[in-house]
Structure formats: structure tokens, C-alpha cells
Structure 1
């Protein structure tokens, strides 16, 4: 990669020159051609798999849901107040998906 000596941004090859967004241009010499390989091919990207809400990766505990009375819920901790105060426990019912919180 070539960086612009004026603004420090990455310069891209275009029409036989490295060009910067600030307007600076630098000729691509034979020495620079040997240093870089320009390719139009796009290499394979990582595959991202999206999952629905039915994938349950949170831990569960036995606690009664205030909405449906189910005795199992997912739980997690989250810092919702100042750092010197305790975390808030959140629960989500495994049956009706109702979410509630519990403070210390």
C-alpha cells in the first residue's frame, strides 16, 4: 500500500498513477509495479450464517415467569447503572418469551 505524504490516507492506483483523495498523485514507476500486484479478481469471502430467534445459546435457570407461570427462563447479566453498582439480571421465559429484570 502507498500512503499519501501530504495527508496520510491510502492511495489507490488509477490511470498509471497512485491517487489520493486530497488530490496528490504519484506516478507508478517500474520499481513500484514490481512491488505491487493489482488484480481485478475478488477473493472468496467468509460465509456468515444468520440464525433465527429459535437458537438458544443463553443459560437457563428455574424461575417463575410472571406472565405465564412457566418455571424455566434464560438469563443474562448487564451493567445498566453506574459501574460501582451491581449488574442487572435479565430473564426471558422459554415458553412465552416475556422478558423481565431483577435488581439486587
Structure 2
């Protein structure tokens, strides 16, 4: 990925040059620089991970939290993911280890 020196927009590769779609600025491509770039090419597929033999206690961190279905404080597994824009806080996903109920919490 390359960014335009004139306007800062992302440029697209067009044969031997980079072309800015916003302002039309062009610059020659440099293969040595492009070798150092990280790409998503070849990363399209997903792999399913078999977790059936893993003990539930080994799957992620746990915390004591009130389960909405059990209506009691239970041990729950949690994970945090950034699902909104980068300036928003992460969303916490919980799974009750007793009943399997899943829910999420967002900061408002």
C-alpha cells in the first residue's frame, strides 16, 4: 500500500506506477520498497480450529460475573474485540460456563 505525497490518499498500483485516485498524482513503483510491504494476498482462506478436546478452563480468561440467564454470579469466559472504529472502546463478549449463555457489553 502506498499513500499519495500530494493529498495523503491511498494510491493504487497501475502497471509500473502508483496512481492516486483522488488527485491523479503518479509515481514510479519501486520493487525493493514493495518487497518490505505486508500484503493480504494469500490470506483469504480461513482455518477451522478443533477445540473439542480442549478443557473449558483452558479457553481464554475467566471472571466472576452475573449471568443474565442463571441470574446468579457465575464464572464466565470473556474476550475483548475491537468491532467499532478505533476511537471507540473494545466490546467485551461473555460466555457463562454453567449454561452457555452468550452476551456482550459496550461502554456507552
Q: TM-score range by the shorter chain?
A: 0.3 to 0.5
Normalised by the length of structure 2, the TM-score is: 0.46
In the superposition, the TM-score normalised over structure 1's length comes to 0.48
Higher strand share: 2
Larger Rg: 1
